[in-house]
Structure 1
Amino acid sequence: MAHSGTRSHADLWIETLFSAKAVGRGGIVRRNVTWVENEIGRDRFIAEVRRRGFHLVECGPQFIVICHKQGLRVIC
């Protein structure tokens, strides 16, 4: 458990991921599912994506985060 005033490994991991240039431009980021599960856990990752209003797709071994809050339409 992290002490007050310090950030946990999971918090730093999330901060690093969501500070990527692609996120700021409304682009996409992708991460290996197994890696995410080992680093911070699936539930925490989903909660962080949802909290930001982004979209999350799981495709094979990858999580794909679409970093904008506009509607999403799957074409095929």
Structure 2
Amino acid sequence: MALASPLSPAAWLDDMFASKAAIRGQVIRRKARDIEKFIGRREFENELERRGFQAVENAGQVIIFCNREPIRRIV
């Protein structure tokens, strides 16, 4: 059985968006199940909207674009 995060949901979000990549406006990746387990999907989506960020999900991974630039699917 997996252990719960030692961080509160708010601290988990703060920690994620304090990463070097996030601060630089790059992309970060997290497991969808961790997002749902540690903070909940709705809270995560609310935080993305508050920050003006976008994310995509594929095969259980969530890619978060830590900037407000448009996303263009290539293929």
TM-score category, normalised to shorter length: 0.7 to 0.9
The structure whose Rg is larger is 1
Amino acid at match of 2:11: L
Amino acid at match of 1:68: N
Q: Which residue of 2 aligns with 1:16?
A: 15
Query: How many angstroms apart in 1 are the aligned matches of 2:69 and 2:34?
Result: 27
Please state how far the C-alpha of 1:65 moved relative to its aligned partner.
0.1
Q: Normalised by the size of structure 2, how large is the TM-score?
A: 0.85
Matched, 1:52 2:46: no
The runs of at least 4 aligned residues of structure 1 exceeding 2 Å deviation read none
Unaligned runs of 5+ in 1: 1-7
Amino acid at match of 2:32: V
Query: How many angstroms apart in 1 are the aligned matches of 2:49 and 2:58?
Result: 18
Aligned length: 69
Matched, 1:61 2:60: yes
Percent same amino acid among aligned pairs? 36
Query: How many angstroms apart in 2 are the aligned matches of 1:51 and 1:74?
Result: 23
Q: CA RMSD in A?
A: 1.2
